Copies of this chain bind each other. A is one copy, B any other.
């Protein structure tokens, strides 16, 4: 332990990409996002660094960056040998807890820092994170989780049982990932604002590229959605999975009516039909729109809300996000909850660096938690990967298993410099 690298500094960067200058990333609730990262680097005395980020869509990325700085006191000089204890020390800090608890800006900051600690640890161990976690014993994995507020749905004993059940096949599944990767779906055809020809072309390309599922943004205009769904279904044919995503646009009754009006086009899941806080609303929608599945998670704030969504039958596809809840530790809890309830996890990605991050969590889930890739796909958006040191590799509609040590959030220093807000050359000191 004594010769482990010691964290000597926590460095933050407000990095923003001017994506609102195009229409990519535009949906019913987010018409003009500037995809951004509150980016954190943990410097050590050994030349190895840990990288993490919170994804935002522009304004407020400075607030997010400032919140990450509030966690500096916990990590500089800290003992990083027990990341379960260090995570709990941060999440339980009574004064910072008041700012959530465990939600919003402060929790996303925690996420960035916890993920950077895991990136550092994986680099120290010389392994990609999915493999590091996939080789960790069930007992040690359980020790990483904060079970507070979970015990009515999942106890440490049940978690251990889930992990032990998946232990025998770990090595085979690691080999299967290295050989065949992990299935992906693409949102690229589905952004609002694309004309019909572009939609048609992108649907065709998605199929040609080997994807077995696409997703369309909906919720701004029903007739427009019906036309776009009709085109997508024509191009993709019956049986091909087409998900729809409303980005929280509806109230409960309008969600049920709108999804009903798209039912003839056989959507596979409806994503974020209403407020991510509305456990009971999602449950009512899920009951009404079945057999169309309800999917949500990118804005679900923490494990307590996921717990309830599973208890209430609010979702049948769980879309964890790598950088909204409290980082790797809380996502292990969420993967365990999903496994307990038998619900497949299909991570949210896109944004800045989310694809790079979530692939590790999905692959860990396959190796050591659920043990399955059935009905599981990772979102893929072909966007901004060039800014990362180890960008994802998606081929034939599948994420290739990453082999570089770490968690994937490291950005290229040139990109950080160029897109730093407001002083990088792209922004030139200008307002967003």
Contact = CB atoms under 8 A, between A and B. Distances in A.
Interface residues of A, number: 62
Contacts of A343: none
Given A70-B60, A70-B62, A104-B105, A301 B277 contact: yes
Contacts of A32: 94-95
Contacts of A152: 251-253, 281, 284
A308 interface: yes
A280 to B, nearest CB: 5
Contact of A251 (B63, B67, B149, B281): B149
B70 A63 contact: yes
Given A58-B98, A63-B105, A104-B301, 11 more contacts: A30-B98, A56-B99, A60-B99, A62-B70, A63-B67, A64-B99, A104-B106, A105-B105, A148-B251, A149-B274, A151-B251
Interface in A73-122: 93-108
Given A66-B66, A104-B106, A279-B279, A31 B312 contact: no
Contacts of A280: 279, 308, 311-312
A248 interface: yes
Nearest to A65: B66
Given A105-B105, A251-B152, A59 B279 contact: no
A70 B59 CA distance: 8
A150 interface: yes
A171 interface: no
Contacts of A103: 103-104, 277, 301
A207 interface: no
25 contacts: A29-B94, A30-B94, A32-B95, A56-B99, A57-B94, A57-B95, A60-B96, A60-B99, A62-B66, A62-B70, A63-B63, A99-B105, A99-B108, A101-B299, A103-B104, A103-B277, A105-B105, A148-B275, A149-B275, A149-B281, A277-B304, A278-B308, A279-B280, A280-B311, A280-B312
Contacts of A276: 101
A370 interface: no
B57 A98 contact: yes
A107 to B, nearest CB: 7
A289 interface: no
> How many monomers of this protein are in the complex?
2
Among A63, A93, A276, A305: residue with most chain B CB under 10 A: A63
Nearest to A105: B105
A284 B179 CA distance: 47
Nearest to A274: B149
A94 B277 contact: no
Nearest to A151: B251
Nearest to A66: B66
A301 B299 CA distance: 14
A319 interface: no
Interface in A272-296: 274-281, 284
Nearest to A94: B30
A365 interface: no
A98 B432 CA distance: 16
Contacts of A212: none
Contacts of A33: 94-95, 98
